[in-house]
């Protein structure tokens, strides 16, 4: 079984051979940091784990980036593992652990005015985040359909939360 970070990195390497710095650039460009716990410092760690599992291999080629040390490509086993893990991630409904739910479960101890103010702050933050994601999506107009689908899903989730918050405030 692959972790979300492993599947994310493996998927990007399946797209085409990449080095760590390029992976970091793509993760940032596609807004992936918003839904993965994948920081720059962990990319090479994840690549090492994938290499040790036989899912990626180092490619001998010229440096595509001045800071790049190693470029990685997916092995056949890596392509198969990526496909199986991606299919499972799309098909399976997994519980999401949202801190807002813990806060709501404990909201009776929050004075009503403070709770209303907290919900209003959350609504404002959701609105700002929705605008950011929409701008990022608009900047990706020539992106492949799967990238646009990721932005579309994120936008739909934020819109749903904004609607819910309207009913709460």
Q: How far apart are CA 127 and CA 143, in angstroms?
A: 24
In the CATH hierarchy, which top-level class contains the domain 4-91? Answer: mainly alpha
Calpha distance 156→130 (Å, rounded): 9
Q: What gap in Å lies between CA 96 and CA 40, rounded to an integer?
A: 24
Confidence (pTM)? 0.78
Sequence spans of domains, the chain:
4-91, 99-168
Measured on CA atoms in the order 35, 137, 162, 95, is the torsion positive or negative?
negative
Type and span of the H or E element at 135: helix 112-138
Q: Which residue has the higher pLDDT, 79 or 35?
A: 79
Q: Answer for the pair 137, 17: CB distance below 8 angstroms, yes or no.
A: no
The tens digit of pLDDT for each residue in 8-43 reads: 999 999 999 998 989 999 998 888 887 887 888 899
Tell me the sheet residues that pair with 128.
none
């Amino acid at each position: 079984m692959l972790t979300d970070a492993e599947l994310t990195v493996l998927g990007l390497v399946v797209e085409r051979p990449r080095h760590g710095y390029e992976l970091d650039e793509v993760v940032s460009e596609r807004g992936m940091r918003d839904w993965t716990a994948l920081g720059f410092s962990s990319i090479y760690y994840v690549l090492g784990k994938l290499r040790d599992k036989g899912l990626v291999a180092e490619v001998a080629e010229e440096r595509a980036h001045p800071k790049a040390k190693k470029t990685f490509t997916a092995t056949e086993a890596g392509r198969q593992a990526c496909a199986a893990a991606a299919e499972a991630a799309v098909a399976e409904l997994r519980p999401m652990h949202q801190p807002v739910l813990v806060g709501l479960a404990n909201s009776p101890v929050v004075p009503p005015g403070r709770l209303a103010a907290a919900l209003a702050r959350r609504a404002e933050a959701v609105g700002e985040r929705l605008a950011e994601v929409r701008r990022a999506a608009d900047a990706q107009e020539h992106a492949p359909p799967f990238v646009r689908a990721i932005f579309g899903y994120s936008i739909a989730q934020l819109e749903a939360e904004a609607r819910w918050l309207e009913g709460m405030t």
